[in-house]
């Protein structure tokens, strides 16, 4: 049962990245403008979208989970410190802490990896 909850946890923690990446596709121009208002070049949105869609899918299916979770951990920390570091704005403080919390969850996955319900689960074959 614990391995099932591991899968559910991976889905839950990955969902925010996955939906955010998809949302960035539909709101591409607005997101580019928002990023550029922070001094970030707009062309970085494409790799951000790829990271936010590909890595969560990898975490969910349990393929190279530690690598994908490590990428999302760094992504969360970078976005927290670049885009949500205005502690005079309560919404930005909440967004900053959300990103730090997500980074903590990803750190847990980096350390422990995926469990049974994953593509990484090694199958044991008996040689005859």
- In angstroms, the CA 78 to CA 2 distance is 31
Neighbours of 114 (CB within 10 A): 25
pLDDT in tens, 49-104: 999 999 999 999 999 999 999 999 999 999 999 999 999 999 999 999 999 999 99
Q: Is the pLDDT of residue 121 over 80?
A: no
Q: Is the pLDDT of residue 116 over 90?
A: no
- In angstroms, the CA 43 to CA 9 distance is 32
Amino acid 119: pLDDT: 85
User: Cβ(108)–Cβ(120) under 8 Å?
Assistant: no
Q: Is the pLDDT of residue 120 over 90?
A: no
User: Cβ(117)–Cβ(62) under 8 Å?
Assistant: yes
- In angstroms, the CA 79 to CA 121 distance is 32
Residue 7: exposed, middle, or buried by beta-carbon count in 10 A (0-12, 13-18, 19+)? Answer: middle
Q: Is the pLDDT of residue 122 over 70?
A: no
Mean residue pLDDT across the chain: 93
Q: Is the pLDDT of residue 127 over 80?
A: no
């Amino acid at each position: 049962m614990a391995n099932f909850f591991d899968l559910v946890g991976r889905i839950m923690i990955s969902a925010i990245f996955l939906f955010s990446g998809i949302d960035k596709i539909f709101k591409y121009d607005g997101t580019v403008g928002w990023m550029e208002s922070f001094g970030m070049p707009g062309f970085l949105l494409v790799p951000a979208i790829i990271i936010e869609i590909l890595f969560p899918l990898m975490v969910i299916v349990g393929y190279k989970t530690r690598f994908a979770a490590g990428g999302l951990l760094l992504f969360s920390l970078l976005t927290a410190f670049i885009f949500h570091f205005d502690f005079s704005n309560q919404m930005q403080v909440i967004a900053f802490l959300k990103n730090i919390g997500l980074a903590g969850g990803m750190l847990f996955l980096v350390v422990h990896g995926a469990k049974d319900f994953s593509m990484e689960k090694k199958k044991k074959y008996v040689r005859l």
